[in-house]
Amino acid sequence: MRVFADIDEVAAASGEHLGHTDWIEIDQDRVDLFADATGDHQWIHVDRERAAAGPFGATIAHGYLSLSMLAYFVQHIVTVTRKPRMSINYGLNRVRFLQPVTVGSRIRDGIVLSDVRETPKGMLVTLSHTVEIEGQERPALVADSLGLWVP
């Protein structure tokens, strides 16, 4: 966990690797809940028997479920003592799903503080994420997330 005093300290760390989160297991309950939330009940996500005979040998997490985990991971890597008044998701750059996450796999995030720049609305913070799958060479996904920190 990287602890920063304030946004100025965060800005000074631009370009640094902030570390890796702990591993978290992606279980079928999480996948099923995501399917219910999004209405995406494709068999590769929710039908265990059919998926076992499918191309991945098991059900897999939705790509967007893996992507949504970035919000969870960030709060376990970065904390700011004097928090901004508000921090909002501003968008994503360069998202690539490189390998499916099979149910039962464990994933973690490695985060680089890519850029911090001042805008008229606040500080735009860009984090580069590499979501790894335990025991696999290729990551599940890479993405740049943007957060707008309003002082």
CB-CB contact of 133 with 60 (8 Å): no
- Would you say residue 151 has pLDDT above 90? no
Instruction: State the Cα–Cα distance between residues 21 and 47, nearest whole angstrom.
Output: 30
**pTM: predicted TM-score of the whole model, two decimal places:** 0.94
CB-CB contact of 58 with 51 (8 Å): yes
Please compute the mean of the pLDDT values over residues 16-21 and round it to a whole number.
97
Res. 1 pLDDT band, cuts 50 70 90: confident
Q: 124: which residues sit within 8 A by CB, 6+ positions away?
A: 90, 115, 116, 117, 118, 146, 147, 148, 149
Res. 96 pLDDT band, cuts 50 70 90: very high
> Total structural domains in the chain?
1
Domain that holds residue 105: 2-150
Q: CATH number of the domain that 34 lies in?
A: 3.10.129.10
Q: What confidence tens digit (pLDDT) does each residue in 20-59 have?
A: 999 999 999 999 999 999 999 999 999 999 999 999 999 9
